[in-house]
């Protein structure tokens, strides 16, 4: 039986690209999402990462019939701007709770439900999907403070998992992408000024990153070639974190507070 990975948010974007990369590498994959996966090679489990009881049932079912869980990828997420996120002095408590509920609490609940299966697997791996904004704190047009808080929280959560998982051989790493070409970030392509900003800030990719680049990185991090790597956050941002900080690439902030 092939090694089995569970990918939350597997029906679209980075999650779907991760499912494809893992399937291509010979893994069996369960996509756990609000919608079924469009990839007929993957097993689909419809679940909400904010529903603790339903999530626990979905994880148990995914691991049943001898499948177990050898890898867990927490890629489920939601756009802050879609829920009314913005600067700290404008965002509501309800919007903060909604954004953090999916992006941070959802990962926490998912790992908690899957942990017994991961610990029993021997050599299992967890990858959380943060954002380069969790590393940099944002700036320019990116001022979704609840989203940045949630994605920053994933960095510390992943380090805690790496320390906790060491005795059982469970590795945990985090990927922090820049702007990726997904439905999640469609507003970037729709806004010429924002697209120009991202293109300048991500010179290695000349704009939004292909989701397959992130999926391939995640597949590496759960695979045997990364067996010596744990507790790390890897920025995959097209050099966005290493471009000059002198404001030369800045554009006028988006009044919609993305």
Q: How many residues does the chain have?
A: 258
The answer to whether the beta carbons of residues 38 and 63 sit under 8 Å apart is no
Measured distance CA(123)–CA(170) in Å, rounded = 6
Question: Hey, which residues does 31 pair with through a beta bridge?
Answer: 7, 44
What residues contact residue 230 under an 8 Å CB cut-off, 6+ apart?
162, 165, 166, 171, 172, 173
Among candidate residues 24, 21, 29, the one with its CA nearest the CA of residue 3: 29
Helix (H) / strand (E) element for 126: namely strand 125-129
Centre a 10 Å sphere on the Cβ of residue 71 and count the other Cβ atoms it contains: 27
The residues carrying an active-site annotation are 147
> By the 8 A CB rule, do 5 and 71 touch?
yes
Two tokens, residue 160: 């805690």
Assess contact for 75 and 64: CB atoms under 8 A.
no
DSSP state of 220: H
The token duo for 232 is 């790390």
């Amino acid at each position: 039986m092939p090694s089995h990975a569970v990918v939350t948010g597997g029906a679209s974007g980075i999650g779907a690209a991760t499912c494809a990369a893992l399937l291509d590498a010979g893994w069996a994959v369960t996509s756990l999402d609000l919608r079924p996966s469009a990839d007929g090679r993957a097993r689909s489990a419809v679940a909400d990462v904010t529903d603790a009881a339903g999530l626990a049932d979905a994880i148990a079912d995914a691991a049943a019939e001898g499948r177990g869980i050898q890898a867990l990828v927490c890629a489920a997420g939601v756009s802050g701007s879609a829920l009314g996120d913005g600067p700290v002095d404008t965002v509501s408590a309800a919007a903060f709770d909604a954004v953090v509920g999916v992006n941070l609490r959802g990962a926490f609940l998912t790992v908690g439900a899957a942990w017994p299966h991961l610990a029993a697997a021997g050599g299992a791996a967890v990858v959380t999907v943060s954002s380069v904004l969790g590393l940099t704190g944002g700036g320019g047009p990116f001022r979704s403070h609840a989203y940045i808080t949630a994605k920053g929280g994933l960095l510390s959560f992943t380090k805690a998992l790496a320390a906790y998982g060491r005795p059982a051989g469970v590795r945990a790493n985090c990927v922090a992408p820049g702007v990726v070409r997904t439905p999640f970030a469609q507003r970037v392509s729709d806004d010429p000024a924002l697209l120009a900003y991202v293109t300048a800030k991500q010179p290695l990719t000349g704009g939004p990153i292909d989701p397959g680049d992130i999926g391939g990185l995640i597949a590496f991090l759960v695979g045997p070639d990364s067996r010596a790597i744990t507790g790390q956050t890897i920025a995959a941002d097209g050099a966005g974190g290493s471009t000059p900080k002198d404001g030369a690439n800045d554009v006028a902030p988006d009044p919609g507070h993305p």
